[in-house]
Chains A and B, each alone.
Chain A
């Protein structure tokens, strides 16, 4: 099992008191599994993904990723987890604007100590980025930027890829193509993939779908 989340609760403070976002969510994923977490805006799916990625901490519950319980890790431990085990693809493309495409793709793998030029080149080829390697992010279209972000995540060969609306800024045709490519590559590396999306059409492309409604799994 790559992910085992149990009884996750999370609320955010507001002027009117704490607003509960997750109210006891339990979810497990096997290695290699692809799963779509769907739900309406505000249903708590992005929050769940952030918690799994160690970007935020839960109020209650237990999250175990690749055998490690996130709640027991300090900042450095979580950073290490993100660097080596989990890869996050954000809705905003989150590239480093001052590095060119090749450097962006290689970046996370270098941090994880797994830089593999051959693999990087293959990823760039598969993503159709080969001719853009020396360009800077601002010179790319949205779809191209998201492909760079996905390639950067996969370059580090994470065991669990988390994607938050990875195609939310793309048109339908492009987003289908990007997701299909992502699924192919994930399958090749043997990673598990958790995609947060509000699109049931995209969710249908993944092996399992889970619906989150008002902070609990439906």
Chain B
């Protein structure tokens, strides 16, 4: 049913959002807006913020299987509010969407769940931390030790996450500007999870270990009208350094970029528009469209000039709103691996 599409149009970041500021900190419909110089309150801020329009708990991982293969894994929970209140029962104005995927060098498994808020089918609680939709969960006594599960018609996984470093904050202490006009979100990550667990694939169960990166972001007006999509990179280098960088594509052909350099101890450097570059080198025909799967990524300030290549070109998510999300391999000035997300290539 196309209704689901309509739901997502209402809550995917690319959808047109009211741009005007009706008052300080809120938009015309009463949604809260991110303010500069945020002060986070943990663990409460790990939970959901129903007065903001959208929010996500977004985890990607690069894994090594006991069978010698490399794997990619995704677990995402999106929240979208129809009105700025939590609500209770069927009438609660919160809608939840889960995406899960496992990418092998040859195949890409993915699935999607949708749920209404207010009845307990999906939600996020801060203490003890639990994010869930249906039988999927990302939960633990605290944010540093989590169990993560998901199932689909032909795959599933059950893994443990252990944080081995601090949270990192993007932009200005977690206030991440998304356009020259000032659209912004709250954005922090936990890029230091160690992962161990089991994938269930049609071939059988596979023990895996690896590292995972969790993004937390919430906002009410994340993109400008002129922005058509984004290319987001989370790269972990063999040196122990990490790089988060994104490129927001604009209708005029120009880009808006932003990046965070994360050192092994968790200390960060934020880079403004233009410092980070990402340029497609090669595209592939994926699900009937041209998608760039081979990139040149630079951050000259850190001497980074690398090529980023998809481990499996076919990591297309044919979900309600389609996008590309998959593991990548890094070579050049730095070596390593990471995850790439590309939206707006429909």
Q: Do A and B touch each other in the complex, judged by CB within 8 A?
A: no
Residues of B within 8 A of A (CB): none
